[in-house]
Amino acid sequence: MDQIVRLNSQQEAILDDAADRFIALYDGNVRRALKEVIVLNAHLSDQLDQMAKARPGAMPKQAPNPERMQRRFWF
């Protein structure tokens, strides 16, 4: 893990709600939902790597902004 993101109680509640909704998409099957998250994460990492190779220096390395968390969880 490159960076540790600390969440306050409100952000933690938002994350818990998003996780519950994501697991519900898989009929409560936590293992299946986790596998999907791993696959999605790998896919997004591959896309970011391709973008970084196409435009060196265009992708700054920074920690995710926890304030934007609520908008990022679409499911």
Side-chain-side CA neighbours of residue 58 (13 Å) = 9
Tell if the pTM clears 0.85, that is, is over it. Answer: no
pLDDT at 61: 63
CA-CA distance, 52 to 50, in Å (whole number)?
A: 5
Domain boundaries defined on the chain:
30-58
What is the Cα–Cα distance from 60 to 53, expressed in whole angstroms?
A: 13
Encode 6-32: b = buried (16+ Cβ within 10 Å), e = exposed.
eeeeeeeebeeebbeebbeeeeeeeee
Examine the pLDDT at 52 and tell me if it is beyond 70: yes
Check residue 51 and give its pLDDT: 82
pLDDT in tens, 3-49: 788 899 999 999 999 999 999 999 999 999 999 999 888 888 888 88
